[in-house]
Amino acid sequence: MKIPFFKNTVTNYFSMFVRLVQGILVTRWLISHLGEAQYGLWVMLWSFFSYALLLDLGFGVAAQKVTATELYKKDIEKFNHTISSIFFSHVSMALLILPLTFVGMYYIRELFHLPGDATAEYIYFCREALLLSGLAATVVFPLGVFPEILVGLQKLYLRNYIIIVSKVVELAGVICIFALGWGLFKLLFFVMLVMGLTQLAMLVSVWRSIPGFRIRWAFDKEIFKGIFHFSSAVYIISIGRMIWERGMFLLISIFCGLAPVGIFQLGSRIPFLIQQIALPYVENISPISALLHSRNRTMHLAQILMRSIRWVNFFAAGATVMVMIYAPRIILLLFNVDNDEAAFICRLMVLFVYFLLVYRIIPEKFLTMAEEHKFLASVQSFESIFFIVISLVGLLVKPHELIVVGAMILTKGIGTIFFVMPHLVKRTNMKVIRFVLYSLFEPALLALSTGMVCYWQYYLLRGQMHEFFLLMLAGVSGCLIYFPALYFMMFDHADKIRAKKLLGKIIGKMRRS
């Protein structure tokens, strides 16, 4: 099976760019046309909608794995029964959303913290909006299995095309709704309708991609038991990840107050943005790992993992070095804030995110698909408990946001270095010395050399030119070093041939025009 790795990655990034631009534009228009109160209601409704995704229980990843192992080629009937069991599990979970919605409607005042003088008409409006959101979540939630199947098919590009069209349609619809003077309720109905049609388009793509695919109106208990063992472990992993991602803000808020939460949020935004930028590339690893593991192609899989970690390290190390040097200037330019503590947290968190990207995220995706989900669930559970205990003890001694950050770094460092990475090497039979030199050392060395040039510029020019131009100079300098290195260090012979052909086509078109 030919894996469209390049097409998947490029469309992943293009989809991310479209969603980012669309999200910024829609947010600005929502605040402008709806006002702060109704925009707050909009945010709350989407928050409840996102919490409904917790009912997935790991079944989506199970559908992705079953598809990636090409069960549909080996036994289409068993594949149909497996996906059907997952689908109807989602249906049963979705039915829980309705009673929760009705409870929320009853306690609408407390849930949305409505003022005491809120009119009966406004309360009724809020209840209707919550009901519409709950009904949409009930309908759309079970269809979430089909994007996962497309990922398992290595057809992320199809999913991305659908998402891009969906976001463009949604943007055009929002413009029309506001131009016609319609309000929140019609806007919510339209957006939910687009979301449902998007998921149905995913279903159609799955049908066209897998001959003989059908949803069977039956629930196979034996198949479900096998799925549940995998999905429950995946769910524990995701819950553990959520504990540290959201728990940091909660612990800082409880023990330190809201101001430190703001400082931490300010310092961590750039590092987490770097993580989000890297994830579209990393998303390819899960289906590839499941496919090659099912074929017992350990050596090939080890090569792909080493190369993937090398690529992520190549870009993440460069971004990390730049943020380490320019953190105060970046924060000042983007947020108009000059805060030494926020800059220090930014530097600390970017190192942490770099560690996760290079040493943890890719190994975790591989081990999940290589029947090591129970091992990962155990590690994640240990990390979650250890993080909470260490954070609480530290905060009781000295309430400070850096205690929480330090506890998280310590926890993930122990779990990754002593458990996850050794397990990765053992399962793939990687040659440790080659892995360290090829995947870890060479990209980091290039980033450090680039950092020396940028630090020299920063040291000489800080205070003498505007932050924007200083950062632009650093970006240009980094590109002049990184792009030639990309060609000579990262591209293999086939990549260089493709790059030359692409460059030749571009130059030819420019000459003809």
pTM: 0.81
Count the helices and strands in the chain (H runs, E runs).
23, 0
Say whether pLDDT at 323 is over 70: yes
- Residue 480 binned pLDDT confidence (cut-offs 50, 70, 90): confident
For residue 377, what is the enclosing H or E element?
helix 373-397
Distance CA 351, CA 207 (A): 44
pLDDT at 513: 60
User: What pLDDT does residue 506 have?
Assistant: 67
pLDDT for res 357? 92
Whether the per-residue pLDDT at 344 is higher than 90: the answer is yes
70-117: pLDDT as tens digits: 888 888 988 988 888 888 888 888 888 888 888 888 888 877 777 777
CA distances from 336 to 263, 274, 330, 332, 427 (A): 13, 20, 9, 4, 48
| pLDDT tens string 389-410 | 999 999 999 988 899 999 999 9
Q: How far apart are CA 267 and CA 323, in angstroms?
A: 11
* CA neighbours closer than 13 Å in the CB half-sphere of residue 174: 23
Distance CA 132, CA 70 (A): 38
Q: What is the mean pLDDT of residues 354-359?
A: 94
Q: Does the pLDDT at position 326 exceed 80?
A: yes
Whether the pLDDT of residue 1 is over 60: the answer is: no
Q: Is the pLDDT of residue 431 over 80?
A: yes
pLDDT > 70: what percent of the chain?
A: 95
Residue 473: predicted pLDDT: 82
Cα dist. 197→174, 191, 194, 378 in Å? 16, 10, 5, 38
Look over the chain and give the mean of its residue pLDDT values, rounded to a whole number. 85
Contact 382, 415 (CB under 8 A): yes
Provide mean pLDDT across the span 474-493: 78
Of the pLDDT bands very low, low, confident and very high (cuts 50, 70, 90), residue 165 is very high
Tell whether the model's pLDDT for residue 150 goes beyond 60.
Answer: yes
What value does the CA radius of gyration of the chain take, rounded to a whole number of Å?
Answer: 25
% of the chain residues with pLDDT over 90: 24
pLDDT tens profile 170-219: 999 989 988 888 887 888 889 889 989 999 999 999 999 999 898 877 76
Question: What is the model's pLDDT at position 215?
Answer: 86
DSSP state of 356: I
Of 141, 368, 144, residue with least CA distance to 236: 368
- What does the pLDDT look like over 247-264, one tens digit per residue? 787 788 788 886 788 788
What is the model's pLDDT at position 188?
Answer: 85
Secondary structure, 3-state, 81-124? HHHHHHHHHHHHHHCCHHHHHHHHHHCHHHHHCCCCCCCHHHHH
Query: Domain limits of the chain?
Result: 1-219, 222-499
* Helices 5-51, 258-282: crossing angle, 10 deg rounding: 140
